[in-house]
Structure 1
Amino acid sequence: MENQALSIMKPQLERIESYPQVAEKLDQHIRETEGQIGRLDSLLEGLGESNSTIKDMALSLGGTMAAMGHTVAGDEILKNSFANFAFENFEIAAYNSLLVIADLAGETRAEGPLRQNLSEEEGMARWLQANLAGVTRQFAELKSVGEEAKV
């Protein structure tokens, strides 16, 4: 899931021109996501497990394709914002579920890292929700004056 998130966010970040506040937040969340992957890898290693390379590759490819699909849209920044908000909420649900599973399994050492990841995802979701109106206004303003509302 986190590798898929990276494959969605990194192409978006490379294309952003007119929305520096979005670029800054995406860059920050990419770094958070890389930390989340490290925490998850450590948890899996501690359990004697590993991530599924094939599943990671498939999800990353899917994420890349989803991110690239929006590039042809004239309102790419809006479509990316909607998709990012939806994906953050997907991740929030997944971490809440993982916390229950860890509790049921008695894996108390998993709680801290999972809660940290959850907190970061909740923070990103809050930021996206709080900033959607501003991004939409900026998009509309750029379009209304005939400027290309580049991502």
Structure 2
Amino acid sequence: MPDPRDHLLSWLKDAHAAEEQAITMLSNLDRRIENYPELKARIEQHIDETRRQSARVEECLKSLGSDTSMLKAVGTKLMGLGQGISGIFTSDEIAKGVLACYTFEHMEIASYRMLVGAAKQAGEPEVQRVCEEILEEEKAMAKWLEDHLEDLTQKFLAREATEATAKH
């Protein structure tokens, strides 16, 4: 029978790689936001949170005698870079960027919920606590995006109707 700890370690490596991808994706979007100051501020706040989350997940891995997966980290950073570059060529970059962030947050929420359960099953209360705290931050970001999605969409459409800089 597989040890729940093995899954916990694998999923923590996945979570670390996802946090690294999020840093790349959010940073690329943040650099190009010009006309949505509220979104820019929240993205910058979440970049800081995400950097701390990545470090905390890495600490969890080390406490369990493991480390991050270099292959996963490099692969997901490249995916994040690709997502950032692809937005440059679309006229609705801000709308697609918000959509990508909202979707990504929900993937992370599901991931951390699984990690909480795995840590509990593996008898790792400190890892469980860290994952619960990160889960709450991810839920807060998803909620902020949900609460602002309609307004951001309306601002984008209004800007697009009047000027060429709606995409950022």
TM-score, scaled to structure 1:
0.97
> 2:22 maps to which residue?
5
Q: Is 1:129 the counterpart of 2:129 in the alignment? A: no
Please tell me whether residue 14 in structure 1 is matched to residue 31 in structure 2: yes
Instruction: Give identity over the alignment, percent.
Output: 33
The partner residue of 1:56 within 73, 79, 83 is 73
Unaligned runs of 5+ in 2: 1-17
For 2:111 and 2:85, the matched residues in 1 are separated by: 24
CA distance in 1: counterparts of 2:39 and 2:45, whole angstroms: 10
Q: Give the Cα separation in 1 of the matches to 2:78 and 2:25.
A: 9
8 Å contact 2:95–2:167 — kept in the other structure? no
Write the deviation string for residues 16-70 of structure 1: whole angstroms up to 9, x where unpaired: 1011111100100000001101111111111000001121011110111012112
| CA distance, structure 2, for counterparts of residue 146 and residue 5 of structure 1 | 30
- Residue 82 of structure 1 corresponds to 99
The DSSP-based 3-state class of the residue aligned with 1:63 is helix
- Structure 1 gaps of 5+ residues are none
Partner of residue 85, structure 2: 68
Number of matched pairs? 151
Q: Which runs of 4+ in 1 moved over 3 A?
A: none
Q: Give the structure 2 partner of residue 32 of structure 1.
A: 49
* Structure 1 equivalent of residue 61 of structure 2: 44
* Residue number in structure 2 paired with 1:138: 155
Q: Which residue of 1 aligns with 2:115?
A: 98
Cα distance between partner residues in 1 of 2:37 and 2:163 = 20
Task: Name the CA distance, whole Å, in 2 between partners of 1:105 and 1:120.
Answer: 23
Conserved? CA contact 1:17–1:150, under 8 Å: no
